[in-house]
Amino acid sequence: MSGLTDQPGPGRDQGAAGPPLRDATNPLGAYLRARRELVTPGQAGLPGTGVRRVPGLRREEVAMLAGISADYYLRLERGRDRNPSVQVLQALARVLHLDDAHFAHLRTLVADAPGQRVRQRGHRPGEEPVPDGARKLLYSLVQPAFIEGRYFDVVASNALARAVDPRLDVGGNQLRDLFLDPAAQALYPEWVNVTECFVASLRQSAGTDTDDPRFVELTGELSASARFRELWARHEVRGQRGTPLRIAHPQVGELTVNRERLGIGGAEHLMLVVYHPDTGSDDADKLALLASASA
CA distance 118 to 116: 7
Amino acid 267: pLDDT: 87
Sheet holding 243-249, edge to edge: 154-157, 145-148, 267-276, 253-264, 243-249
What count of other Cβ atoms lies within 10 Å of the Cβ of residue 251? 10
Amino acid 82: pLDDT: 84
Span 123-169, pLDDT tens digits: 565 567 899 999 999 999 999 999 999 999 999 999 999 999 999 99
CA distance 51 to 249: 48
Amino acid making up residue 201: S
Say which residue, 1 or 43, is predicted with more confidence.
Answer: 43
Q: Whose CA is closest to 150, among 224, 241, 225, 214? A: 214
Percent of the chain with pLDDT over 70: 85
pLDDT at 122 over 80: no
CA distance 241 to 262: 10
Span 78-87, pLDDT tens digits: 988 888 998 9
Amino acid 111: pLDDT: 67
At residue 267, φ and ψ (nearest 5 deg) are -140, 85
Amino acid 251: pLDDT: 93
**Residue 20: band (very low, low, confident or very high) from pLDDT cuts 50, 70, 90:** very low
Q: Whose CA is closest to 84, among 115, 116, 117, 113? A: 113
Say which residue, 255 or 47, is predicted with more confidence.
Answer: 255
Strand locations in the chain, DSSP E? 145-148, 154-157, 243-249, 253-264, 267-276
pTM of this structure: 0.73
DSSP characters over 39-60: S-TTTTT----S--SSSS--HH
Average pLDDT over residues 185-209: 92
CA distance 154 to 175: 10
Q: Which of 84-98, 173-187, 200-214, 240-254 has the lowest mean pLDDT?
A: 200-214
